[in-house]
Structure 1
C-alpha cells in the first residue's frame, strides 16, 4: 500500500460496513480535500460555477479495494494533478474529461461499471450532490440502493492525525495573533467594517484564508458587519474563522477601548469559569455529554448563568463536525456522539456567551484537542481583556 495515503483505509472500510455501503461516491469539497490529502483544484477554490454547469470532482472508493478507487477530474485539471503526483503525493487513478456535473457523474458510473459487481449499495453525500448528477446516478443504476454517506465520512474525519493536529494548533494560534493585531490597529471612531478589515489583513498576512468575522461593539448584540463606530470605552467581541491549509481556526476573544472596569473584569472571569469547568474533565474515554454536564453544573453556580449560552462542537475541516454532542445548539443536528466516549485526536470547540443587556456581547471560544489522559488547548492566549489603544 502507498505510504502517502492520507486516511485510514481500514477505518473507512469499517465505517462503510456499519453504514451498509459498498461503493462511495464523494462529491463535497471538504471530503475530496480530506481523502486526497489536502488537494483541491486551485481554479475552483472560490467559485465552483463555470459555463452552464459547475465543477464537480468525484472520488470513487470501493470498500476494501483501494486499488479500484478513481478520481474524476475536470478536463482542465491535468496540470494540478501532475504537480501533485510529481511532488510525491498519493493520488488514485485519475479519469479526466468532465466539464459539467452530468459528465462527471457519467464518468464515475462508467468507472464503477468497469470494476464492480452490478448490484451495489452506493453511498453518496446527498447535501452535496447536484440534482442533475443525482438524476444520472438514479437513472443509470436503478438497481443500486442510495445510502447517505455523510455520517461515515464525518466519523472518519473526527480522529485527527498528528499532522492535522499540528495544522489546527497553528490555525488557532494564527487566528488569535490576528485578533491581537487587529485590536492594536483599532482606534475610536473606526467602523465595525474597518475593524473586520484589520482582521482580514492580519489573517491574510499569516498565510490564512479569511472566512468570516462575527464582531460586536459597545452594547450592541448585532454581530454583522456595519458602519457602527467604536466609541471611547466600548467593548469589542472578535469571533473569527480563519482557514489554514484547509483547517479552521475558530476562536473568540474580547477587547476593550481603554481600561476595563471591575464589572467587565468580573463578567469575563465568570465566563472563563464556565470554560474551565467544561474543559476540565475532557480526556479520551469520557462520554461527550459529560462536557455539557460539567458546564451545566458551573452555570447553575454562576450569577449570570441563566443568561449565558454554552455550546461544544467538533472542529476540523468543517465547523460543527463530529463529535456532535448536543441536539439543542445553534446549528441543528442530532446529538449522535453525546453518549459515546471521546477519542484521542478529536478536536472540540467550547464556547460560552453572555449577551449582557447593559454591557454588551461577552464571549470566549476555545479549541480543545482530546488526548489519552486529558486535553491540549490550542491558541489559548489573550483570553482576558485585550486593550484597544485609547
Structure 2
C-alpha cells in the first residue's frame, strides 16, 4: 500500500490483481510488471516511511537501491492500538469461534490421544465453527512438557494423572482471538493443583483489575505479585499479555516495563502462567476488551478446576 497526501494505491503482482480489485472496489489497484516496476511508483518520493518490523533487512536494502528513496522506520502499531466497533465485533466473533471449537474438542481430551492429534482436531474444529484458520500454530503440551510455554505438539500421548495445556486462537475476517486452557486428566500431583489455583487467582485478579488509565506494568504486577507471593515468582517467565487484532501479538505489551496506560477500545490478553521443569506448567488466558467503565471478557470457556477435571 502506498499512502500519500492525495492518493491510496495498492501495488500487487499479477497473481493478486483480480482478487484485490474485487475486494477493494474503492482503491486503485496497480499491477506491477517488468515494464512498470515498483520503482516507477516510489521514486518520486524523497522519503518513504515504512514499518521496519514488517520488512526483512534484505527487502529494506532492495527498496532503497531499486527505488532511490530514503527509508525511515515508522511504527505502524499505533494505528492498531484502539479498535473500532466493527473490529471489536470481529474479534468478539473470533473469540466465540474459539469457544465453540474447544467445546467440540473437549470429549477428545482423554488419555491415549497424541498432542498432535488433539491439535489437528482443534484446528479443524476452528474451521467448522466459522474461522478461516487458527491464529498461530496451536500449542498442546502435556505432562512435564507443560513447562514449555510455547511447546509444539508431538507424538506424545496424553496420560492419566497429567495436565495438558492448550493455547490456540481463531481468525474471523482477518481478526484474531487467543485463548489458553489447562485441563486435568484424572487425579494429578497435588502441586500441579496448587499451581492451577495460583494461576487462576492471578488471572482472575488481573481480569477484575482492568480499567482505563491503569498502566500496563501495574496490571502485570497484579498477577505477578500473586504468583510471587505463592513462591513461584521465578517460574512466571513472560509478560502478562499483549494486544490483539489483525495480528495475534499487537501493542500494548502488558510487561513490567511498559508505562503505557490502558484506554477504551484496546483488546488485550490476560495470560499468567507458571512453568516448573520436571513437573509441568499451567497457563490460563482470556481476551479482554477495555471499556469506558472497566472491561468486557470476550472468551467464555470455563476456567474452574472442577469444570475441566475429566
Native 8 Å contact 2:203 2:271 kept in 1: yes
**C-alpha RMSD over aligned residues:** 2.8
CA displacement, residues 3-31 of structure 1 (integer Å, 9 cap, x when unaligned): xxxxxxxxxxxxxxxxxxxxxxxxxxxxx
Q: Indicate the residue corresponding to 2:166 in structure 1.
A: 238
Partner of 2:27: 92
Between the aligned partners of 1:261 and 1:96, the Cα distance in structure 2 is 61
Query: For 2:16, which of 77, 97, 108 is the aligned residue?
Result: 77
Q: Which residue of 2 aligns with 1:30?
A: none
- Residue equivalent to 1:50: none
Cα separation, partners in 2 of 1:298 and 1:126, compared to 1, 3 Å: same
Counterpart in the other structure of 1:183: 106
Q: Does 1:361 align with 2:281?
A: yes
- Structure with the bigger RCO (C-alpha within 8 Å, sep 6+) is 2
Structure 1 residue 305 displacement after superposition: 3.8
- Tell me if the contact between 2:262 and 2:290 (Cα under 8 Å) persists in the aligned partners: yes
- The 2-side partners of 1:373 and 1:147 are apart by 38
The equivalences for 1:296-375 within 5 A come to 296-309=224-237, 311=239, 312-326=241-255, 338-356=258-276, 359-375=279-295
- How far apart in 2 are the matches of 1:94 and 1:163? 24
Q: Does 1:173 align with 2:93?
A: no
Report the number of matched residues. 303
Moved more, 286-295 or 379-388: 379-388
**2: CA distance between counterparts of 1:131 and 1:353?**
34
Render the CA deviation track for 1:54-112: whole Å, top value 9, x for unaligned: xxxxx0001xx2x4221112223343134224xxxx532111134xxxx59x6443234
Deviation at 1:132, TM superposition (A): 6.6
Cα distance in 2 for partners of 1:267, 1:344 equals 32
Would the aligned equivalents of 1:308 and 1:352 in 2 still touch at CA under 8 Å?
Answer: yes
Q: 1:277 aligns with which of 197, 205, 224?
A: 205
| 2:143 pairs with 1:215 | no
Kept in 2, the 8 Å contact 1:179–1:199? The answer is: yes
Task: Tell me the distance in 1 between the aligned counterparts of 2:236 and 2:64.
Answer: 47
> Per the alignment, in what secondary structure is the counterpart of residue 284 of structure 1?
coil
Give 2:115's aligned residue.
192
Gaps of 5+ in 1: 1-58, 329-334
Shift of 1:387: 4.1
- Is 1:293–2:221 an aligned residue pair? yes
Cα distance in structure 1, aligned partners of 2:12 and 2:127: 29
Counterpart of 1:382 in structure 2 is: 302
